[in-house]
Amino acid sequence: MTTQALVQVLASGLLMGLIYALIAVGLSLIFGLMDVVNFAHGEFLMLAMYATFGLVLVTRLDPVVLMPLVAALLFMLGAAAYMGVVRFAMRAKANQGMVQIFATFGLAILLQGAAQYLFTPDYRNVQDTWLGGRTLELGGIFLPWPQIFGAVVSLAAFGGLHLLMSRTDFGRALEATREDQGAVALVGIDRNRVFALGWGLGAALVGLAGAVLAIFYYIHPQVGASFALIAYVTVALGGFGSVGGALVAGIIVGLVEAFTAVILPPALKSVGVYALYLAVVFARPQGLFGRL
Amino acid sequence: MIRRRELLVGAGALSLASLRGAPARAAAPEVVVGVLYPMSGASAQMGVDARHAIETALDIINNDHDLDLPTAKGAGLAGMGGAKIRLVFADHQADPQKGRAEAERLITQDKVSALVGCYQSAVSATVSATAERYGMPFVCADSSSPSLHRKGLKLFFRPAAHDEMFSTAMFDFLDAQRKQGKTIDSIALFFEDTIYGVDSANVQRKLAGERGYKLVADVKYKSNSPSLTAEVQQLKTANADVLLPTSYTTDAILLTKTMAELGYKPKSMIAQAAGFSEKVTYDTVGDKLQGLISRGSFSLDLAAKRPMVATVNNMYKARAGRDLNDNSSRQFMALIVLADALDRAGSTDGQKIRAALAATDIPGTRTIMPWTKVAFGPDGQNTHADPVLLQWIGDKFVTIFPDAAAVAPAKWPMNT
């Protein structure tokens, strides 16, 4: 393998890894907040992609400009999912963990079915974008602009999230709630409200990821599934609930996947990621940055 | 919430309806045919289009049409006392296990007399085995894996070509280009990791060896991957004279996008249809596929010689909002071929339908395909289903090979 090809694989893996991290972080955030795994995370991503596609169609604006709007829409969807579904699932008297799984899993199937019904199973594609199809060439290394942009958005989102968590009252309330749900209720914090905002924030982050992905990926009712699986592995690898862990794990997953595809037949490229995942689960069940 | 009382009333009404239905059925008999396609999941659009194609055929069979297709004239199947065909659709979600379960359900519960399907070769493999066990004829519409008709099944029938025939046509075309003085030395294979992709690649690898083409990349990839960057990187490094992809729609789109992103313009591409014959692929990335050649069973060009092709295409287009393509034309023909056999069998007995299918002899002019005829070998394969090669030029496919069917010379290489 030439140096050039090596650098290309490294760069491609890194860019994709940062996007994986952005997809995964919302999932990790919600889990950290309330110990609930959102099985509809991939469907949130899918809806964000359709939202981007639809808004581009209606407004004729570039998807880059529409990103905040998509994130806001997904924020509302996330908060609504908590208020309408998860809140009730958490009231279950027995087997609460299972009820939560079935509730979010059911939501996933509902959203998939609704998307297929409303949008048809045809493949969509955002055509009018300033970034689309452009590639940066640096000494024989090809870096697609949409992916570079996605990586920048991802890093910015992680930075913003860090500031939000450490500098704002909302962030502190979020952190306090994940530390001790009972105690925050005693000091007058409305737990339900924090949870709803947390779900909104998690969904808004995956909304950003969806808007980025819509620029260079096809849009389809099932598109969430393949990314959701990677998001679960990323979150488990980084440590459930750890925001920094999601960032590091996303990059690791992207790089391992890219290099596995070169070393092994590409059909086996997920093998490297899952082997690493298994190794981490055995050696460090809480993930790289997780707390037990 | 459904209350128990409503449920009882509903059940009562249903049983009354079925009582009333029984004598009516005796008066106007019907034949039930099970149709298996992916109606949900990543290939759902394929299933939706297949449904339109098969329902177009159903319209032609069950109603009186002035078309030179078997069973078109007169309503219903004359050989069965004017019986009409009723279709029961099942969704296999591109999953071989679901395909098997759905086939069993159609046979045991819906009491179908024959099965048609299934697009994905992996699903057709389990469905054909299930059909065989129940003595149920299976008309394989559009799965092209060669291994399907080599399992010694007695009730498997495939009117369309398989990948060996298609791949042979591709290499015949390459040989012809060589004879004209074009330099074609190396080929690259890129194929998805199920039976369809693997069988296709096995044939192409063998043909390349036999005919003296150097294999410079042999990339088996994971279908529905989030990214194909590393795979395309390998293809780009190899930079073969011809890239031969075997992919379904999702991967066809992603492959094309990734090639463009990584600055890889293959000199030429010859695709094994599937995703590369779908309209949506060209709606999405058609500008990057100018000059792509795909194998085909069907060509709208044929309408110039055989006006019936345009008539059927218009009927389909009214339902599906798109033209017939390689996949939907084969799906259409599958039900026509089955109806012709049912008509001659005059019975819904599996063995009688089997015998009638085995005796099928439909001249090519009575189909919408460029085939010589439909007649099955002992393995259930129609060996007269001559494939064509089509090239994407502007915004449509034109037939470029073989010479007898060609309407334009090939643009070769597609990118210079």
DSSP string, A156-170: HHHHHHHHHHHHSHH
Residue A109, both tokens: 């199937």
CB-count burial class (<10 Å; 0-12, 13-18, 19+) for B310: middle
| Strand order across the beta sheet in which B84-91 lies | B84-91, B30-37, B114-117, B138-140, B156-157
Q: Does the pLDDT of residue B19 top 80, yes or no?
A: no
**A136 close contact with B: CB closer than 8 A:** no
Does A132 score more than 80 pLDDT?
no
Reported as a single tens digit per residue, the pLDDT across B335-356 is: 999 999 999 999 999 999 999 9
Task: State the average pLDDT over residues B268-273.
Answer: 93
| pTM, rounded to two decimals | 0.83
Residue B305: pLDDT above 90? no
Of B40, B230, B263, the CB nearest to A116: B40
Among B41, B263, B281, the residue with its CB nearest the CB of A137 is: B263
- Residue B378 near residue B343 (C-beta atoms within 8 A): no
For A5, the closest of B233, B257, B261 (CB atoms) is: B233
Chain A CB contacts of B320 under 8 Å are none
Distance CA B365, CA B368 (A): 7
In angstroms, what CA-CA distances link A115 with A49, A123, A221, B78? 11, 12, 6, 43
Average pLDDT over chain B reads 90
For B194-243, the pLDDT digits (tens) are 888 999 999 999 999 999 999 999 999 988 888 888 889 889 989 999 99
Q: Using an 8 Å Cβ cutoff, are A252 and A239 in contact?
A: no
- Categorize the per-residue pLDDT at A35 as very low, low, confident or very high, splitting at 50, 70 and 90: confident
| Crossing angle of the two packed helices A3-34 and A169-179, in degrees rounded to 10 | 70
pLDDT at B300 over 60: yes
Q: So what's the ipTM on this one?
A: 0.83
Q: Do A142 and B224 touch (CB under 8 A)?
A: no
* A199/chain B closest Cα distance in angstroms: 25
B125-163 burial, b if ≥16 CB within 10 A, otherwise e? bbbbbbbbebebbbbbbbbbbbebbeeebebbbbbbbbb
Average pLDDT over residues B62-66: 96
pLDDT of residue B16: 46
Rounded to the nearest angstrom, the minimum Cα separation between B366 and chain A is 32
pLDDT tens sequence across A194-245: 999 999 999 999 999 999 999 989 899 999 988 999 999 999 999 888 899 9
Judged against a pLDDT cut of 70, whether residue B27 lies above it is answered with: no
- Cβ neighbours for A54, distance < 8 A, ≥ 6 positions apart: none
Per-window interface: B 274-313 vs A, CB < 8 A: 280-281, 283-285
Task: Provide the pLDDT for residue B28.
Answer: 60
A-B interface: how many C-beta pairs under 8 angstroms?
A: 104
| Residue B38, token pair as written in the block | 């992916």
Q: Do A266 and B220 touch (CB under 8 A)?
A: yes
Can you give the pLDDT at residue A128? 74
B254 touches chain A (CB under 8 A): yes
Structure tokens belonging to residue B85: 């065909």
Comparing A183 with B381, the larger pLDDT belongs to B381
Q: Does B40 touch chain A (CB under 8 A)?
A: yes
Neighbours of A135 (CB within 10 A): 15
Using pLDDT thresholds of 50, 70 and 90, give the confidence band for residue B23.
very low
Interchain contact A45–B (C-beta under 8 A): no
- Whether B261 sits inside 8 A of A122 (CB atoms) is no
**In this complex, is the C-beta atom of A125 within 8 Å of any C-beta atom belonging to chain B?**
yes
Q: Smallest CA–CA separation between A265 and chain B, in Å?
A: 7
Higher-pLDDT residue of A190, B332: B332
- Put simply, whether B225 touches A (Cβ < 8 Å) is yes
Distance (Å, rounded) from C-alpha B313 to C-alpha B301?
12
* Model confidence band, residue B17 (pLDDT cutoffs 50, 70, 90): very low
Nearest CA to CA, how far is B193 from chain A (Å)? Answer: 6
- CA B95 to chain CA centroid, Å, is 17
Sequence length of chain A is 292
Q: Is B15 on the interface with A (CB under 8 A)?
A: no
Give dist(CA A34, CA A37) in Å, integer.
Answer: 9
A265 touches chain B (CB under 8 A): yes
Question: Using a CB-CB distance cutoff of 8 angstroms, which residues of chain A are in contact with residue B283?
Answer: 125
Among A1, A123, A257, the strongest candidate for a mutation testing the B interface, having the largest count of B CBs within 10 A, is A123
Say yes or no: A135 contacts chain B, CB-CB below 8 A. yes
Place of tokens 């027995």: A94
